[in-house]
Amino acid sequence: MSMNGKGTEALARTHALEMENREKLRLTGVSDVSGFDESLIVLSTDMGELSICGEALHIDKIDLDAGLLELRGRISELRYEETTAASSLWKRIFG
């Protein structure tokens, strides 16, 4: 079996979170930043949309090609929204 470069694109990136004292957060598996300000950062990840709420939030490092994002601030909430799966379920139920 030959590898022509397309095989690596088909593999899903690992999504992981590493938080230190609710002040620093490192994420992998990030594909897009939908929006951000000092109190809310909204990300698209391989596991769904992730909203990070807090105070004085600041993105320190971002590399979407590698799926990496690092931020700091006072983190108060992490919330996932799985819009695709939920809308698909509603479509199956209510047609």
Report yes or no on 6 lying in a domain: no
- Tell me if 24 sits within 8 A of 72, measured CB to CB: yes
Give CA–CA dist 39/12, Å, rounded: 29
pTM comes to 0.74
Report yes or no on 3 lying in a domain: no
Question: What pLDDT score was predicted for residue 2?
Answer: 40
Question: What pLDDT score was predicted for residue 3?
Answer: 45
Question: What pLDDT score was predicted for residue 92?
Answer: 61
> Domain residues for 58?
14-94
Report yes or no on 90 lying in a domain: yes
Which residues, given as ranges, of the chain have pLDDT below 70? 1-12, 83-95
Question: What pLDDT score was predicted for residue 46?
Answer: 84
Say whether 10 sits in a helix, a strand or coil. helix
Report yes or no on 46 lying in a domain: yes
Say whether 15 sits in a helix, a strand or coil. coil
Report yes or no on 42 lying in a domain: yes
- Tell me if 41 sits within 8 A of 60, measured CB to CB: no
Q: Look up the CATH number of the domain holding residue 64.
A: 2.60.40.2000
Question: What pLDDT score was predicted for residue 13?
Answer: 74
The DSSP bridge pattern shows strands 40-45 and 48-63 to be antiparallel
- Tell me if 75 sits within 8 A of 52, measured CB to CB: yes
Q: What is the number of structural domains in the chain?
A: 1
